[in-house]
């Protein structure tokens, strides 16, 4: 038996998310089907991050075990062939030891959220960003983002359907960058609660619009109430960019 | 009568190009239909660059005349409303004098071409880049690109259907930039021959693959033979980014 680690890029627009579900096609199921076509083996593919419906990945990581011992070139090219024409691609494949686990061995996950801050609707970036019409003050958003850093009870920043046992998470870095009309919010942590990044982004947008002050983030965290935080930013602006082991 | 200048962004994937044609929907016709819906006026929209089928724009410029005098906010928001759900957006509108002409007043046009240089197919950038599998040497491509600069007879770099009277054009700048697997080729000139940028890109890719040497560009220009230059790069990687007046 050989364990393989793969790095996957995908456009999540037309998928129900990473996780296999009954209500539509997921990235996980698409990969399992492609592996079955290539190897005739029924495998479970374990992912580093359970991205929601509509969320994209530049560097999702997953692992699976095969009885057959294929070269990494066979894995990469073969799966890319069988995934066609879906917008899912294996950008790297590697043989790993049996103690590697895509989800549990991950030391850090980096997400990036794209906002296009302008009056007009999206064209080229359709389904790849959140268009916010009101002018956002990114300096205020950057100041606000610093209050997320550290270990906190993030009850105010988790989806009501979040199943994690503990609401405590440690945010290592948050940065808000502006390039003309594009705003990128980059967040790094070992792991996140469900919808945490999107609720953080929605709340930072409230700060950028002037509805909240940067220091309010501290009070919202302390309140431990989802209703105090901002809206959940739409899934289409979110990218899982990197997983570090 | 009032003349309006508009800056337009579009995803050209599903259009026959800028220019109105019988064989499908063009950007120009889409704009004319939207203007008619908003104002009940039949106008001709003049564009700065006749982008080919599949080519995108971040900053195409056009002008048109209206009998009605609308505010620029009414023009921008109204047209964006009537263009929905097409991937075409007015990102700026301005009233201009009657001597302004989107095509003839343009002093410079800037195009950017995106290559993704990797083994795997595209997902998120599908229809927005050219994927080249063989590793490209961008230093060689950059050296080669310098031979394009200046006033030359670009007969080797024009489409056989190009209708320009003269094959002479002046290239002001060419730059080849690499960011990880992404290669951006930026070209600036007052104007271009048909398919000129795409044939320049195709030829630079031949250099990057080692099929041609940088100095060969000089010989290809001198040969005045289309067959000496490289392939026409696919339209989906090309963006008209800026028009300067």
Render pLDDT for B13-38 as a digit per residue (tens, 0 to 9). Answer: 999 999 999 999 999 999 999 999 99
Longest dimension (CA), chain B: 58
Tell me if residue B229 falls in helix, strand or coil.
coil
Q: What percent of chain B has pLDDT over 90?
A: 98
A238-244 vs A56-66, strand pairing mode? parallel
Complete domains list, chain B, with CATH: 2-96 (3.30.70.580), 108-244 (3.30.70.660)
What distance in Å separates residue B197's CA from the closest CA in chain A?
A: 20
Q: What is the mean pLDDT of chain B?
A: 97
User: Which one of B9, B72, B121, B181 would you mutate to disrupt binding with A, by most A Cβ within 10 Å of its Cβ?
Assistant: B121
Counting other chains too, the contacts that A175-180 makes at CB distance below 8 Å and 24 or more residues apart are A175/A142, A175/A145, A176/A138, A176/A141, A176/A142, A176/A145, A176/A204, A177/A138, A178/A117, A178/A138
pTM of the model: 0.94
For residue B239, name the pLDDT band (cuts at 50, 70, 90). very high
Inspect the interface and report whether the beta carbons of B120 and A56 lie closer than 8 Å.
no
Give the residue on A whose Cα is nearest the Cα of B119.
A91
Inspect the interface and report whether the beta carbons of B89 and A121 lie closer than 8 Å.
yes
d(CA B178, CA B220): 25
pLDDT at A78: 97
pLDDT at A95: 98
Classify residue A187 as exposed, middle or buried by CB count within 10 Å of its CB (0-12, 13-18, 19+): buried
d(CA A181, CA A174): 19
Predicted ipTM?
0.91
Catalytic residue among B52, B77, B99, B125: B52
For residue B149, name the pLDDT band (cuts at 50, 70, 90). very high
pLDDT at B231: 97
pLDDT at B150: 98
Residues 23-42 of A with CB under 8 A from B: none
Inspect the interface and report whether the beta carbons of A128 and B126 lie closer than 8 Å.
no
Is B52 tagged catalytic? yes
Tokens 């953080």 -> residue = A200
d(CA A209, CA A203): 10
A176-234 pLDDT, tens digit per residue, is 999 999 999 999 999 999 999 999 999 999 999 999 999 999 999 999 999 999 999 99
A91-145 pLDDT, tens digit per residue, is 999 999 999 999 999 999 999 999 999 999 999 999 999 999 999 999 999 999 9
Residues of B in contact with A128 (CB under 8 A): 124
Catalytic residue among A11, A22, A52, A77: A52
Span A13-39, average pLDDT: 97
Residues of B in contact with A116 (CB under 8 A): none
Residues of B in contact with A10 (CB under 8 A): 123-124
A73-102 pLDDT, tens digit per residue, is 999 999 999 999 999 999 999 999 999 999
pLDDT at A180: 93
Q: Residue A124: which of B56, B76, B121 has the nearest Cβ?
A: B56
For residue B4, name the pLDDT band (cuts at 50, 70, 90). very high
For residue A158, name the pLDDT band (cuts at 50, 70, 90). very high
B9 touches chain A (CB under 8 A): yes
d(CA B153, CA B173): 16
pLDDT at B199: 98
A89 touches chain B (CB under 8 A): yes
Span A50-59, average pLDDT: 96
Q: What percent of chain B has pLDDT over 70?
A: 100
Span B174-179, average pLDDT: 97
A88 touches chain B (CB under 8 A): yes
Inspect the interface and report whether the beta carbons of B11 and A126 lie closer than 8 Å.
yes
A60-73 pLDDT, tens digit per residue, is 999 999 999 999 99
Span B69-98, average pLDDT: 97
User: Which one of A8, A83, A121, A238 would you mutate to disrupt binding with B, by most B Cβ within 10 Å of its Cβ?
Assistant: A121
B72 touches chain A (CB under 8 A): no
Inspect the interface and report whether the beta carbons of B87 and A9 lie closer than 8 Å.
no
A121 touches chain B (CB under 8 A): yes
Span B169-192, average pLDDT: 97
A76 touches chain B (CB under 8 A): yes
Residues 164-223 of B with CB under 8 A from A: none
* Residue B52 CB neighbour total at 10 angstroms: 20
């Amino acid at each position: 038996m050989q364990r393989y680690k793969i790095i996957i890029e995908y456009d999540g627009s037309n998928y129900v998310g990473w996780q296999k579900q009954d209500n539509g096609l997921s990235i996980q199921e698409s990969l399992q089907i492609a592996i079955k076509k290539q190897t005739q083996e029924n495998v479970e593919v374990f992912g580093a991050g359970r991205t929601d419906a509509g969320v994209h990945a530049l560097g999702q990581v997953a692992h699976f075990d095969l009885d057959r011992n294929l070269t990494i070139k066979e894995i990469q090219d073969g799966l890319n062939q069988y995934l066609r024409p879906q917008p899912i691609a294996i950008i790297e494949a590697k043989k790993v030891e049996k103690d590697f686990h895509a989800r549990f061995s991950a030391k850090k996950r980096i997400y990036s959220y794209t906002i296009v801050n302008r009056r007009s609707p999206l064209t080229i970036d359709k389904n790849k960003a959140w268009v916010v019409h009101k002018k956002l003050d990114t300096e205020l958003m950057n100041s606000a983002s610093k209050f997320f850093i550290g270990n906190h009870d993030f009850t105010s920043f988790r989806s009501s359907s979040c199943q994690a046992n503990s609401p405590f998470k440690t945010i290592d870095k948050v940065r808000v960058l502006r390039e003309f009309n594009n705003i990128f919010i980059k967040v790094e942590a070992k792991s996140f609660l469900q919808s945490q990044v999107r609720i953080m982004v929605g709340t930072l947008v409230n700060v950028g619009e002037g509805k909240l002050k940067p220091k309010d983030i501290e009070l919202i965290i302390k309140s431990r109430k989802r209703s105090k935080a901002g809206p959940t930013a739409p899934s289409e602006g979110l990218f899982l960019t990197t997983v570090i082991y």
